[in-house]
Amino acid sequence: MARRILYPARTISGAASVPGDKSISHRYALLAALAEGTSQIRNFSPAEDCRRTLACLQRLGVRIVQQDATVNIVGAGPAGLRPSWRRLDAGNSGTTARLLAGVLAAHSFVSVVDGDRSLRRRPMRRVIEPLERMGARITAREGDFLPMEIAGAPLRGIDYELPVPSAQVKSAVLLAGLLADGITTVTETVRTRDHTELALAEFGAELERGERTIRLLGRQRLQARQLSVPGDLSSAVFLLAAALVLPGSSLTLHGVGLNPTRTAVLDVLAGMGAPMRISGLTVQHGELAGDISIESAGLSGGKIAGPHVAQMIDELPVLAALGPYTEQGIEIRDARELRVKESDRIAVLAENLRRMGARVEEFPDGLRVDGRTRLHGAELDPAGDHRMAMACAVAALGAEGESRLRDPGCVAVSFPNFFELLDQLTTR
Ligand code: S3P
Q: Tell me the sheet residues that pair with 14.
A: 251
Q: Percent of the chain scored above 70 by pLDDT?
A: 100
Q: Provide the pLDDT for residue 287.
A: 98
Q: Is 314 in the pocket of ligand 1 (CB under 6 A)?
A: yes
Q: Is 92 in the pocket of ligand 1 (CB under 6 A)?
A: no
Q: Provide the pLDDT for residue 1.
A: 79
Residue closest by Cα to atom 10 of ligand 1: 314
Q: Quote the CA–CA distance of 115 and 89 in Å, as a whole number.
A: 5
pLDDT, one tens digit per residue, over 40-80 is 999 999 999 999 999 999 999 999 999 999 999 999 999 89
Q: Quote the CA–CA distance of 311 and 165 in Å, as a whole number.
A: 9
Residue 114 designated active-site: no
Q: Is 89 in the pocket of ligand 1 (CB under 6 A)?
A: no
Q: Quote the CA–CA distance of 349 and 365 in Å, as a whole number.
A: 13
Concatenated DSSP letters of 134-197: HT-EEEEETTTEEEEEEE----B--EEE-SS--HHHHHHHHHHHHTSBSEEEEE-SS----HHH
pLDDT, one tens digit per residue, over 302-338 is 999 999 999 999 999 999 999 999 999 999 999 999 9
Q: Percent of the chain scored above 90 by pLDDT?
A: 100
Q: Provide the pLDDT for residue 416.
A: 98
pLDDT, one tens digit per residue, over 265-300 is 999 999 999 999 999 999 999 999 999 999 999 999
Per DSSP, the three-state class of 294 is: strand
Q: Quote the CA–CA distance of 125 and 320 in Å, as a whole number.
A: 29
pLDDT band at 220 (very low <50, low <70, confident <90, very high): very high
Q: Tell me the sheet residues that pair with 376.
A: 400
> Mean pLDDT throughout 144-160?
98
Kindly list the strands in the beta sheet with 38-42, ordered across the sheet, starting from the edge strand earlier in the chain: 63-67, 70-74, 38-42, 226-228
Q: Is 43 in the pocket of ligand 1 (CB under 6 A)?
A: no
Q: Provide the pLDDT for residue 115.
A: 98
> Mean pLDDT throughout 88-109?
98
Concatenated DSSP letters of 375-394: -B--EE--TT-HHHHHHHHH
C-alpha pair distances (Å), 245 with each of 8, 236, 308, 326: 11, 15, 25, 9
Q: Tell me: cis bond preceding 147? Omega within 30 of 0 counts.
A: yes
pLDDT, one tens digit per residue, over 390-426 is 999 999 999 999 999 999 999 999 999 999 999 999 9
User: Are the beta carbons of 276 and 243 closer than 8 angstroms?
Assistant: no
Residue closest by Cα to atom 13 of ligand 1: 166
Q: What is the pTM of this model?
A: 0.98
pLDDT, one tens digit per residue, over 224-276 is 999 999 999 999 999 999 999 999 999 999 999 999 999 999 999 999 999 99
For the chain, give the mean pLDDT. Answer: 98
User: Are the beta carbons of 49 and 93 closer than 8 angstroms?
Assistant: yes
Q: Provide the pLDDT for residue 91.
A: 98
Which residue out of 21, 196, 235, 313 has the highest number of ligand 1 atoms within 8 Å of its CB and is therefore the one to mutate?
313
- Residue 177 pLDDT greater than 90, yes or no: yes
Query: Measured on CA atoms in the order 254, 258, 264, 268, is the torsion positive or negative?
Result: positive
> Mean pLDDT throughout 73-94?
97
> Mean pLDDT throughout 342-366?
98
Q: Quote the CA–CA distance of 181 and 172 in Å, as a whole number.
A: 16
For residue 298, the CA-to-ligand 1 centroid distance in Å is: 30
Which residue out of 26, 100, 166, 195 has the highest number of ligand 1 atoms within 8 Å of its CB and is therefore the one to mutate?
166
> Mean pLDDT throughout 187-195?
96
Q: Is 95 in the pocket of ligand 1 (CB under 6 A)?
A: yes
| Helix 22-34 and helix 233-245, axial crossing angle in degrees, nearest 10 | 170
> Mean pLDDT throughout 331-354?
98
